[in-house]
């Protein structure tokens, strides 16, 4: 019996107790480290359970919101994190970024929010929220990280205001120069020899490029500070895109490129012949002028950088998403450049781009426009294999589209503001 106890002590019970104790100490040590990190960083960190109750609130969150950690923990997040617009009006509950993350069980990023602190001070913040999901997909809660970006946003607004004012003021004299050059090139107005005409044509082209640069600068400034105008309506993208590509076709054919438009499942299966595909109705809620600007920019880029082959425009979708894409047979884009393409002033540095003009603002503006409608834009490309730019937008059911159209008509008649499909 004594031997049994001795062996049990040596190889059984005592070892298990020692292992459990070591594990507990290790876990406790890791928790202490985590607490030190969370409590030391300058970013506000907040954990909210599935019922919307705050479970963790670090000192930085307390400093930004004006709520002490002990007061905030155990309270509904809506009482503590009040998000307001630039006029100080509180967001509707369904627009609150934390509510979106809880309802959709998805990651939410918001770099335009403002938190109203407990003492009614507005603090510009950059918010990132991630869901905490169990293995079975059930929502356990969310974790939000937010940073005070008041000074940064003020500096950005000053830069945007300067660019906006400068671009606006410069457009007038540039437009005047362009007009006078056009008159000088008009044979009914003036007579110039061939050599002078060549100089004037080059000057006219340069002035046109300068005008486009000022326009892009103005648009990008508006996009950054939320002043980009948008008047969304229900649009059937299949018909809209088909008519638009008919207008764009000439620029491709002028360069000797083939042009193809496809609809339906063929658009997602290697761009095969779509003439046999029944064309579904792809309803979205967007400003058609803004979407035309995006498609035109992507199409022009495809033509500009493709020397031989074809440019294909396609549209497809499922119950939730409408996807359209512009594919070219150009040189392709290196992987290391793809994540930077939609940044302001970024251009791929190679022989092709050095010989082709551009502002580096077009894709940045495209991204900002698509984000107006909570959509997504990205690129898929391999060097030597061409590029495909893809856009996803929220799809409306025929019933929802009909309801919105009726509502739009009544709102227009009453002079009220048109609401979005999510409200």
Q: In this structure, what DSSP letter does residue 226 have?
A: T
State the pLDDT at residue 18. Answer: 55
pLDDT grade for 423, boundaries at 50, 70 and 90: very low
Burial class (CB in 10 A: 0-12, 13-18, 19+), 142: buried
Containing 255, the helix (H) or strand (E) segment is none
Instruction: Select, from the ranges 191-195, 197-201, 322-326, 404-408, the one with the highest average predicted confidence (pLDDT).
Output: 322-326
Task: Dig out the tokens for 17 from the structure.
Answer: 């107790």
Q: Examine the pLDDT at 422 and tell me if it is beyond 60.
A: no
Within 10 angstroms of residue 100's Cβ, the number of other Cβ atoms is 19
User: Mean per-residue pLDDT for 244-260?
Assistant: 90
pLDDT grade for 48, boundaries at 50, 70 and 90: very high
Q: Examine the pLDDT at 276 and tell me if it is beyond 70.
A: no
State the pLDDT at residue 6. Answer: 44
Q: Are the beta carbons of 346 and 295 closer than 8 angstroms?
A: no
**Is 3.40.30.110 the CATH classification of the domain at 233-403?**
no
State how far the Cα of 371 lies from the Cα of 391, in Å rounded to an integer: 10
State how far the Cα of 365 lies from the Cα of 345, in Å rounded to an integer: 11
State how far the Cα of 149 lies from the Cα of 158, in Å rounded to an integer: 14
pLDDT grade for 4, boundaries at 50, 70 and 90: very low
Residues whose CB is less than 8 angstroms from the CB of residue 412 and which lie 6 or more positions away in sequence, other chains included? 418
State the pLDDT at residue 7. Answer: 37
* Least confident stretch, 46-60, 129-143, 225-239, 389-403: 225-239
Three-state DSSP state, 263: strand
Three-state DSSP state, 139: strand
State the pLDDT at residue 169. Answer: 79
User: Mean per-residue pLDDT for 180-187?
Assistant: 86
What is the average pLDDT value for the chain, to the nearest integer?
Answer: 81
State the pLDDT at residue 278. Answer: 59
pLDDT above 90 covers a percentage of the chain that reads 34
User: Mean per-residue pLDDT for 213-225?
Assistant: 74
Q: Which residues pair with 316 in a beta bridge?
A: 323
- Cα end-to-end span (Å), the chain: 76
State the pLDDT at residue 5. Answer: 47
Q: Which residues pair with 390 in a beta bridge?
A: 325, 378
Q: Which residues pair with 103 in a beta bridge?
A: none
State how far the Cα of 38 lies from the Cα of 43, in Å rounded to an integer: 9
Q: Examine the pLDDT at 53 and tell me if it is beyond 80.
A: yes
Residue 197 CA: distances (Å) to CA of 23, 99, 200 = 85, 63, 5
State how far the Cα of 390 lies from the Cα of 323, in Å rounded to an integer: 7
State the pLDDT at residue 194. Answer: 85
Within 10 angstroms of residue 418's Cβ, the number of other Cβ atoms is 14
State the pLDDT at residue 165. Answer: 77
State the pLDDT at residue 23. Answer: 53
User: Mean per-residue pLDDT for 331-341?
Assistant: 88
Burial class (CB in 10 A: 0-12, 13-18, 19+), 313: buried
Q: Do domains 22-148 and 233-403 have the same CATH topology?
A: no
State how far the Cα of 137 lies from the Cα of 147, in Å rounded to an integer: 29
Domain ranges for the chain: 22-148, 153-227, 233-403
User: Given 3.90.1150.10, 3.30.70.260, 3.30.450.20, 3.40.50.300, which CATH number is that of 22-148?
Assistant: 3.30.450.20
- Strand 321-328 and strand 387-394: the pairing is antiparallel
pLDDT tens profile 357-396: 566 788 988 999 999 898 999 999 988 889 999 999 999 9
State how far the Cα of 56 lies from the Cα of 67, in Å rounded to an integer: 12
Q: Are the beta carbons of 79 and 408 closer than 8 angstroms?
A: no
State how far the Cα of 113 lies from the Cα of 134, in Å rounded to an integer: 29
State the pLDDT at residue 32. Answer: 63
Tell me the three-class secondary structure of 60-117, residue by residue.
HHHHHHCCCHHHHCCCEHHHHCEEECCCCCECCHHHCHHHHHHHHCCCEEECCCEEEC
State the pLDDT at residue 377. Answer: 94
């Amino acid at each position: 019996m004594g031997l049994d106890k001795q062996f049990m002590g040596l190889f059984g019970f005592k070892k298990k107790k020692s292992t459990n104790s070591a594990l507990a100490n290790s876990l406790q040590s890791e928790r202490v480290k985590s607490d030190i990190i969370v409590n030391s960083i300058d970013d506000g960190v907040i954990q909210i359970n599935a019922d919307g109750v705050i479970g963790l609130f670090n000192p930085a969150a307390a400093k930004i919101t004006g709520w002490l950690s002990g007061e905030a923990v155990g309270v509904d997040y809506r009482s503590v994190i009040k998000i307001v617009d630039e006029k100080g009006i509180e967001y509707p509950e369904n627009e609150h970024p934390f509510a979106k993350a809880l309802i959709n069980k998805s990651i939410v990023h918001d770099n335009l929010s403002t938190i109203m602190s407990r003492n009614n001070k507005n603090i510009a913040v950059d918010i990132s929220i991630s869901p905490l999901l169990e293995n079975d997909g059930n929502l356990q809660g969310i974790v939000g990280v937010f940073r005070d970006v008041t000074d940064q946003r003020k500096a950005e607004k000053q830069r945007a205001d300067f660019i906006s004012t400068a671009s606006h003021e410069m457009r007038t004299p540039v437009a005047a120069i362009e007009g006078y050059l056009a008159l000088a090139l008009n044979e009914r107005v003036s007579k110039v020899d061939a050599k002078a005409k060549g100089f004037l044509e080059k000057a006219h082209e340069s002035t046109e490029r300068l005008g486009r640069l000022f326009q892009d600068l103005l648009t990008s400034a508006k996009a950054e500070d939320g002043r980009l105008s948008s008047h969304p309506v229900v649009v059937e993208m299949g018909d809209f895109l088909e008519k638009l590509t008919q207008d764009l076709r000439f620029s491709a054919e002028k360069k000797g490129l083939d042009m193809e438009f496809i609809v339906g499942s063929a658009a997602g299966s290697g761009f095969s012949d779509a003439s046999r595909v029944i064309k579904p109705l792809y309803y979205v809620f967007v400003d058609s002028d803004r979407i035309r600007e995006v498609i035109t920019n992507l199409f022009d880029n495809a033509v500009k950088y493709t020397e031989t082959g074809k440019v294909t425009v396609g549209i497809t979708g499922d119950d939730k998403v409408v996807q359209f894409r512009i594919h070219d047979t150009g040189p392709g884009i290196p992987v290391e450049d793809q994540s930077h393409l939609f940044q302001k002033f970024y251009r791929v540095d190679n022989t092709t781009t050095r010989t082709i003009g551009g502002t580096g603002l077009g894709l940045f503006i495209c991204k900002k426009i698509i984000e107006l409608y909570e959509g997504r834009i990205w690129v898929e490309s391999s060097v030597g294999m061409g590029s495909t730019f893809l856009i996803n937008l929220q799809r409306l059911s025929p019933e929802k589209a009909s309801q919105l159209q009726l509502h739009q008509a009544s709102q227009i008649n009453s002079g009220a503001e048109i609401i979005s499909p999510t409200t």
